[in-house]
Amino acid sequence: MTAQSKPITTVLLMFKFGDILFRPTEKQDLKLVHKWENNAELMMYSRSKPLNFVSMAQLERQFEERLKEEKNLYFMIEFFDKKEPIGSARLEQRDWGNIKTGHIGTYIAKKELWGKGLGRQITVALLEMTFMQLNAERCDAGSVEYNQRAHKTLIFSGFQQSGIYRKVHFVNGRKWDHFYFDLLREEYLDLRKELLERVLGDKLDEYLETIQIQV
Ligand SMILES: CC(C)(COP(=O)(O)OP(=O)(O)OC[C@H]1O[C@@H](n2cnc3c(N)ncnc32)[C@H](O)[C@@H]1OP(=O)(O)O)[C@@H](O)C(=O)NCCC(=O)NCCS
């Protein structure tokens, strides 16, 4: 390894993408996650369950379980400069039908940050991990019918709506469908350059440098 080269683990565990950093969720983050995941409006969009009451003890148990899962990645997302956590994301590896799939999901916990383009940046970062690091053939994601922000974010990032589970959610007095989206590896590779340019702007070269392996 030359003096300038960067160890590959830095890329995977601490994934910097533009202004944001994906890092592992630590036990001390659970206090914040507890607050976030008991926020009715956030959970209405993220989990389609406004009454997502979750105790610290439940979160701690889930945290311990997740430590055993090597295939799935659970992240805290923060602004790199401020070291300020803003949300969470997950990338689960699934082998449905023998084809490796990355299943992604995210929430931005602070409502004042919604609608400013961060979701697109997070989604493209998760696609980079899915296709450029985990070598998956597909990526998929899903969201409740009324979550237009999430659907538009996925469409922007190259996903196509691939199916609907009809009337599987009951929220605020009525039933709602669940929309499924997917993106194939070859489709992502066709779009990759344009997407990276659009979400990273002048931070593109910095990102491309961090994923170079120097020998
Ligand atoms: C869903 C989420 C990650 C999207 O991130 P975001 O930063 O808010 O979204 P972006 O700013 O990247 O914009 C995405 C799209 O939504 C559109 N949008 C923004 N506000 C909107 C609104 N109130 N209604 C409909 N569309 C809206 C934007 O115009 C953009 O669409 P475009 O690409 O066609 O222009 C974020 O809003 C969030 O965390 N929401 C709460 C939790 C959640 O829904 N998680 C996803 C569960 S699957």
- Kindly give, in sequence order, each residue whose CB lies less than 8 Å from that of residue 30, ignoring residues fewer than 6 positions away: 56, 59, 60, 63
Q: Tell me the per-residue pLDDT of 24-65, one tens digit each, with 9 for 90 and over.
A: 999 999 999 999 999 999 999 999 999 999 999 999 999 999
Question: Given ligand 1 and candidates 77, 145, 149, 151, which is best to mutate, with the most ligand atoms within 8 Å of its CB?
Answer: 149
CATH number of the domain at 96, please.
Answer: 3.40.630.30
What is the CA(106)–ligand 1 centre distance, in A? 11
User: Is 164 part of a structural domain of the chain?
Assistant: yes
* Structural domain boundaries, residue 184: 8-210
User: Is 63 part of a structural domain of the chain?
Assistant: yes
The C-alpha atoms of residue 119 and residue 160 are separated, in whole angstroms, by 17
User: Is 103 part of a structural domain of the chain?
Assistant: yes
Q: Tell me which of 50 and 2 has the higher pLDDT.
A: 50
User: Is 2 part of a structural domain of the chain?
Assistant: no
- Give 77-114 as a DSSP string: EEETTTTEEEEEEEEEEE-GGGS-EEEEEEEES-GGGT
Question: Given ligand 1 and candidates 152, 154, 156, 194, which is best to mutate, with the most ligand atoms within 8 Å of its CB?
Answer: 152
Q: Look at residue 20 and tell me whether its pLDDT is greater than 80.
A: yes
Q: Name the residue among 143, 141, 144 with its Cα closest to residue 157.
A: 141
Global confidence as pTM: 0.93
pLDDT for residue 210: 87
pLDDT for residue 3: 45
Q: In total, how many domains does the chain have?
A: 1
User: Is 187 part of a structural domain of the chain?
Assistant: yes
Could you tell me the pLDDT band of residue 156, with boundaries at 50, 70 and 90?
very high
User: Is 95 part of a structural domain of the chain?
Assistant: yes
Closest ligand 1 atom to residue 114 Cα is 8
Half-sphere exposure of 110 (CA within 13 A, CB side): 11
User: Is 215 part of a structural domain of the chain?
Assistant: no
- At residue 56, what is the residue type? M
Q: Tell me the per-residue pLDDT of 97-120, one tens digit each, with 9 for 90 and over.
A: 899 999 999 999 999 999 999 999
- Kindly give, in sequence order, each residue whose CB lies less than 8 Å from that of residue 46, ignoring residues fewer than 6 positions away: 105, 107
Could you tell me the pLDDT band of residue 136, with boundaries at 50, 70 and 90?
very high
Tally helices (H) and strands (E) across the chain: 8, 8
Could you tell me the pLDDT band of residue 8, with boundaries at 50, 70 and 90?
very low
User: Is 45 part of a structural domain of the chain?
Assistant: yes
Alpha carbon 184 to chain centroid, angstroms: 17
pLDDT for residue 215: 74
